Amino acid sequence: MNYFLDKDVDPRDIDFQDGSAYGKVDDIEVLDEQNGLLIISYNAILKEDLHNCGIQRKKSYRLADPLSSFSVSPYEKAVIFRVEIETTVKKEGFKSIEELEVSYENNWFNIYILEYGVGAGDAKLYTNLFNPPTDAKLKITKVKPSHRRKLNDEFSLAAADKISTLELEQELASRVLSADYLAIYDVGQGNSNALISSTNETCPVVYFDMGCGIGAHASTVPAGLDFCTCNNPLVILSHWDQDHWAGALRIKSKAFSLTWVVPRQQLDAVHKSFAHEIISAGGRLLVLDMPKDSAGSSRLPNSQLLKFTLGIGSSRNNSGIVLAIENNDPQFPSSWLLTGDCAYSHIPKSLQYPPPVAVVAPHHGGVTKLHNIAPSPAIHNDYNRLIYSYGPDNKFRTTQHPTSSSVRIHDLAGWDMGIWNTAPGSSSKTGNVRATSKHSPSPFERGGVLVGWESLPALPMVCPLGAPISKH
C-alpha cells in the first residue's frame, strides 16, 4: 500500500527530490461565498516517480491493460501527497466561484515545493492521509494540454471492468431482500450509509459510501471506527472524494475484498492507488456504465424499489451516484433519498421518487444556493428524518458544517429544523433533524442514526463488528 494511504504506517521523512510534481484539484471548499474565500486542495505525485512507475512508460506500456490484471499497484512506491491552499477567487484571477470551478475541475497543475517545514509558507502539505500536515511554500502553474491528456489517460478508469444499468439492477435484487432500515454512521467529517434487510440486526447488505474524516479532519473520526462486513455487502461509492471512501482504509482487506460499484470520474494518483488496492486484495471494482440522464430501478423481493442515477452536473460532487429507495405501501408511498455530495439541482428528473421520509443531506450540509431546492418531506405521518453527517467541531477556517444556507433550503422545503433555525449544529436531535454529532460548547452527542419507514420505538441489536448506532 502506498505510504500516503496507509493509516498504520510509522511516520517517516519524505524525499521530495527536486520538489516537482503533477497535481489535480481534489476539492474546492467555499469558506465565504460573499468574499470569494475558499480552500483549494490538490492531490499530487512527484514527476520523477511518475516517470519511473507510470503505466505509459516505453519499457512497460500498460495503458490498455485491464485494471483487474494488475496484481500490485504500479504507484505503490511513489511519493504521493496532498496540499491545501487558502485563497480567494480574485487572487486566482476569476470573477466568480463558478468560473474558477469550471476552469480548475478538469485541469492538471505543475506543483513546485519551494520550501517545507514549520513556518515555511501558507500552504498545508500532507504526506499521509491521516497524519498532521507541515507548512509549505509552493509555486503552481497549469500543465500544457498535451501533458494534461497523458495524465488523464494515466489516471482514468477506461480500463476498469464495467457494470451496466441492467446488471446493477440484477445485482441489487439478488443481494437485498428488503430495505428495512437505513443507517447513517458517525465517521467524523465524512459519509457512510448502509441498507439493512433484517428487523433483528444491523448488519448491512449494501454500503453507500465507506468514508471518514481525513487530513485536517482526521481528528473528527471516532476512536475504533469499524465497519461490519458480515453479509459480504456491496459497496456503492457515490463519488471519488476521499472522505467518502477513506473509511475503508481503517479495515483494509475486509473492505478491499468486497465488490465496489463506482462512477466513471477522472481520477488522480490518490484515487487510482485506492482503486488498485481493491484489485490487489481480490475485490471487484465495477464502473457504472449507464446513459446520462437515465435511472435504474431494481425491484426487491418484497416489492420495494431501489432506484439509482448519476448526477447531471460537471463536477465530481454533482456527477456521482444517487440512490432512492421506495417503500411498497400503495396507500402511503414514501422514499429514502441518499445524495452523497450531489446538489438537489443536479439530480436528474429521470429519478422519480415519492416524497421522502428520510434524506441524507448533500455534502454534509455544505454551502448551497437558494435555487438548489430541497424535496419536501412525506406528510402522511409525523415521522420524518433529515440526517446530517459531519464531524464534531469540523471547521474550514471559520466555516462549519452544517451551514446556515443548507438549513435554510430545508426549512423552506417544509422540514422541521427545530432549534437549528437559529443555531445550526448545536444539537444532534431537533425537530426532523438527526446528526452524527454536534459542535462545542455543547457536549458531543456522537453516534450513528438508524431510520425506518415509521417511527422506531427502540433500536434493534447492533452488530459488535460495525460502527455503533445510538440515535433514531
- Read off the CATH number of the domain in which 275 is found: 3.60.15
13 is a domain residue: no
Residues 25 and 174 in one domain: no
239 is a domain residue: yes
403 is a domain residue: yes
Residues 201 and 125 in one domain: no
Residues 199 and 312 in one domain: yes
The three state secondary structure string of 298-364 is EECCCCCEEEEEECCCCCCHHHCEEEEEECCCCCCCCEEEECCCCCHHHCCCCCCCCCEEEEECHHH
Residues 261 and 142 in one domain: no
Residue 100: in which H helix or E strand, if any? helix 97-105
Report phi then psi at 450, rounded to 5. Answer: -115, 130
Which pLDDT score is estimated for 397? 61
Identify which of 341, 303, 306, 308 has the alpha carbon closest to the alpha carbon of residue 322.
Answer: 308
Residues 100 and 220 in one domain: no
Which pLDDT score is estimated for 290? 96
Which pLDDT score is estimated for 416? 95
Measure the CA–CA gap between 220 and 257, rounded to whole angstroms. 26
Which pLDDT score is estimated for 398? 64
Q: What sign results for the dihedral spanned by CA atoms 339, 342, 344, 349?
A: negative
456 is a domain residue: yes
Measure the CA–CA gap between 339 and 347, rounded to whole angstroms. 9
Residues 165 and 149 in one domain: no
Q: Which residues, at least 6 apart from 350, have a Cβ–Cβ distance to it below 8 Å? A: 293, 294, 295, 309
Parent domain of 45: 20-154
Which pLDDT score is estimated for 422? 84
Residues of the chain with pLDDT under 50: none
314 is a domain residue: yes
Which pLDDT score is estimated for 243? 93
Domain boundary among 119, 154, 189: 154
Which pLDDT score is estimated for 396? 67
Domain boundary among 107, 127, 154: 154
Which pLDDT score is estimated for 281? 95
Domain boundary among 154, 175, 200: 154
10 is a domain residue: no
Identify which of 339, 332, 334 has the alpha carbon closest to the alpha carbon of residue 359.
Answer: 339
Residues 267 and 330 in one domain: yes
Q: Is 51 exposed, middle or buried (0-12, 13-18, 19+ CB in 10 A)?
A: exposed
Q: How many domains does the chain have?
A: 2
Residues 321 and 382 in one domain: yes
Q: Cell 426532523 identifies what position? A: 432
